[in-house]
Amino acid sequence: MTVSASQNRIASSRSRTRDELTRGTFDLLVVGGGILGTSVAWTATQAGLRVAMVDSGDFAGATSSASSKLVHGGLRYLQSGQVRLVAENHRERRSLASEVAPHLVNHMPFLVPIYSGGPHGAAKMGAGVFLYSALSAFGDGMGRLLSPAQARRLAPGLRTDGLRSVAAYSDHQMNDSRMAVMSVRAAVDAGAVVLNHAEVVGLRTTRGRVTGADLRDRVDGGEFGIDARLVLNATGPWVDRLRSMEDPSATPSVRLSKGAHLVLRTPEPWRAALTIPVDKYRVSFAIPWEGRLLLGTTDEEYTGDPADVSVVPADVEQILSEAALGIDAPYLDASHVDYSFAGLRVLPGGPGGTSSAKRETVVTQGRGGMLSVAGGKWTTYRHIGRAVLKELRRVSAVPLAEDMADPLRTVPLPGLASPDAVAQRLITDRAPGAPLDPLVARHLASHYGSLAMDIAAMVREEPRLGERIHPDGPDIWAQVVFARDREWAVNADDVLRRRTTVTVRGLDTPEVRQRTEALLEG
């Protein structure tokens, strides 16, 4: 097989990482670089462990970059009386937004339209959003009722036919791909050794215990092995596949539910999101995100190959029809859909429909000692890292720092800074080379925090990197080089979909892809 120039350049850097991964014995090998694996790797390195993390694809290349982009308390959990859970989610939501990642997690007003004949009345929803706000100690203001006219100023496409009132509350949102990359960087800064596009082809065992893995580098085909005292299976929808490598007789531990989303152009920007009641228990979201409107999601059992999950015409029809319960029809033309994506929720096995299954983390240990973890969500991903670390302490003899009895410390993600302050510095920087325009500056500040200054330095050294990747979007070519050199990007999809916002804005043209691949060649 002929190896391209891009593969040769990237392989040189990756070979050094492979050498480090094969050196000595790690305390912990994490297989899977999504929300769960990255959180555990980050937490475990803080606890003093020597940690390796690998992923067969890109970091957050599957479900972890296919979420609804929310950091939220979970308003719908009040419907089932899970008050304590909502309060716990709120605490973590506010911690992420104020201490851990204020440069990545953004406040967002949410509106719940209440229609004549709808599943919820104004009094009930008004009380619900008040309680929701109280459970967050009114940190984002007080939930209240708005008039239809007030609400439509925030959400211009809000359907007003039959609209009686609108309940308002607050939550947060983020770009899940950027959160994932920054979390991987935090783990590496703490001492973890990581490699994406590295597939586990077999498990290593010593006297019946799993003590590492054999891998194949999917970039250059190189084979290598990693030795570890403990292996953690955090492969998401593939969790049972790796469990079967440990024990061919292992029974399935999880089931999968597909969640599809659409990314839609709108004629004017929205300043608030909609939580649209579909029935007594289900809702549909319409969320301003990356200059577009994010619609979704679906929730149906999925039994196929996780690698084949995709948005099908029935998903598009369902999402648009459910959005029409709260959005005017002209906004919901299918031709306005710039992008669509689907991910798989990993749910505990059991009877009943997937929509009613508990969204909880499942931790199991196989007969070879490998731990498997599945489930969870972005809002509480740091808590999952702590819970798994406690389980590591219980089942293994790996050394843990004495001060890590409660490892959920307030350790910020890289780039911690005020996006407003960073954007202002980018705009007013009069060093040689043209300053970045305000739209680009704000985009970089809210996706990289203070690390945006490193990207600006690249532009000063090579002004052509300050050009926009596509004229209709805020991403610039310096981000491609930054992704290549500092964020483990290997191919165009890594860059355009997960390191930048080009693909999700529908701007991933053949010309853009060709130049991206040229930059990846270095």
Residue-level pLDDT at 358:
61
d(CA 443, CA 441) in angstroms, rounded, equals: 5
Least confident range of 127-141, 343-357, 434-448, 450-464: 343-357
Residue-level pLDDT at 6:
45
Count of CB atoms situated within 10 Å of the CB of 230? 23
- List of residues 6+ apart from 373 with CB closer than 8 A: 36, 40, 232, 233, 234, 239, 361, 362, 363, 384, 388
One domain for residues 379 and 441: no
**What are the two backbone dihedrals, phi and then psi, of residue 382, each rounded to the nearest 5 degrees?**
-70, -35
In-domain check, residue 4? no
Check if the beta carbon of residue 290 is closer than 8 Å to that of residue 504: yes
In-domain check, residue 484? yes
Q: Which two tokens stand for residue 508?
A: 């991933």
One domain for residues 167 and 282: yes
Query: What digits encode the pLDDT tens for the residues 68-123?
Result: 999 999 998 888 788 988 999 999 999 999 999 999 999 999 999 999 988 889 89
pTM for the predicted model, two decimal places: 0.94
Count of CB atoms situated within 10 Å of the CB of 248? 7
Q: Work out the pLDDT band at 351, boundaries 50, 70, 90.
A: low
Residue-level pLDDT at 350:
54
Rounding to the nearest 10 degrees, give the CA dihedral for residues 496, 242, 371, 63.
30
Residue-level pLDDT at 434:
62
Residue-level pLDDT at 1:
29
- List of residues 6+ apart from 329 with CB closer than 8 A: none
Query: What digits encode the pLDDT tens for the residues 466-498?
Result: 999 999 999 999 999 999 999 999 999 999 999
Residue 388 backbone class (left: φ over 0; alpha: ψ -120 to 50; beta: rest): alpha
Q: Which two tokens stand for residue 2?
A: 């002929």
- List of residues 6+ apart from 55 with CB closer than 8 A: 31, 32, 33, 34, 37, 61, 195, 196, 197, 198
**What are the two backbone dihedrals, phi and then psi, of residue 376, each rounded to the nearest 5 degrees?**
95, 180
Residue-level pLDDT at 403:
52
In-domain check, residue 151? yes
Task: Kindly state the average pLDDT of the residues 388-392.
Answer: 85
Structural domains counted in the chain: 3
Count of CB atoms situated within 10 Å of the CB of 352? 7
One domain for residues 143 and 259: yes
CA-closest candidate to residue 412, choices 44, 97, 72: 97
* Domain endpoint, select from 348, 377, 395: 348
In-domain check, residue 413? no
Q: Which two tokens stand for residue 362?
A: 């499942």
One domain for residues 169 and 267: yes
Q: Which is higher by pLDDT, 177 or 435?
A: 177
Q: Which two tokens stand for residue 490?
A: 């290997």
One domain for residues 315 and 452: no
Q: Which is higher by pLDDT, 522 or 287?
A: 287
Check if the beta carbon of residue 238 is closer than 8 Å to that of residue 253: no
Strand partners, 340: 262
One domain for residues 362 and 236: yes
Residue-level pLDDT at 247:
96
Is residue 399 helix, strand or coil? coil
Q: What is the CATH number of the domain that holds 333?
A: 3.30.9.10
In-domain check, residue 1? no
Least confident range of 80-84, 281-285, 376-380, 497-501: 80-84
One domain for residues 222 and 188: yes
Strand partners, 257: 301, 345
Q: Is the per-residue pLDDT at 170 higher than 60?
A: yes
Residue-level pLDDT at 139:
86
249 DSSP assignment: T
Q: State the residue range of the domain holding 395.
A: 9-63+178-252+356-403
In-domain check, residue 409? no
Q: Is the per-residue pLDDT at 232 higher than 80?
A: yes
In-domain check, residue 408? no
Mean pLDDT of the chain: 91
Q: Is the per-residue pLDDT at 173 higher than 60?
A: yes
Q: Which is higher by pLDDT, 506 or 397?
A: 506
Q: Which is higher by pLDDT, 76 or 360?
A: 76
Q: What is the CATH number of the domain that holds 23?
A: 3.50.50.60
Query: What digits encode the pLDDT tens for the residues 235-282?
Result: 999 999 999 999 999 999 999 999 999 999 999 999 999 999 999 888
SS (H, E, C) 192-243: CEEECCEEEEEEEEECCEEEEEEEEECCCCCEEEEEEEEEEECCHHHHHHHH
Task: Kindly state the average pLDDT of the residues 443-452.
Answer: 97
Q: Is the per-residue pLDDT at 187 higher than 50?
A: yes
Query: What digits encode the pLDDT tens for the residues 32-73?
Result: 999 999 999 999 999 889 999 999 999 999 999 999 999 999
d(CA 382, CA 96) in angstroms, rounded, equals: 9
Burial of 486 per CB tally in 10 Å (0-12, 13-18, 19+): middle
Q: Work out the pLDDT band at 352, boundaries 50, 70, 90.
A: low
CA-closest candidate to residue 273, choices 72, 475, 498: 72
One domain for residues 153 and 273: yes
Q: Which two tokens stand for residue 175?
A: 């770009």
CA-closest candidate to residue 77, choices 171, 159, 151, 145: 171
Residue-level pLDDT at 13:
82
* Residue 242: C-alpha distances to residues 56, 127, 231, 245, 425 (Å): 12, 46, 11, 5, 47
One domain for residues 335 and 364: no
One domain for residues 424 and 514: yes
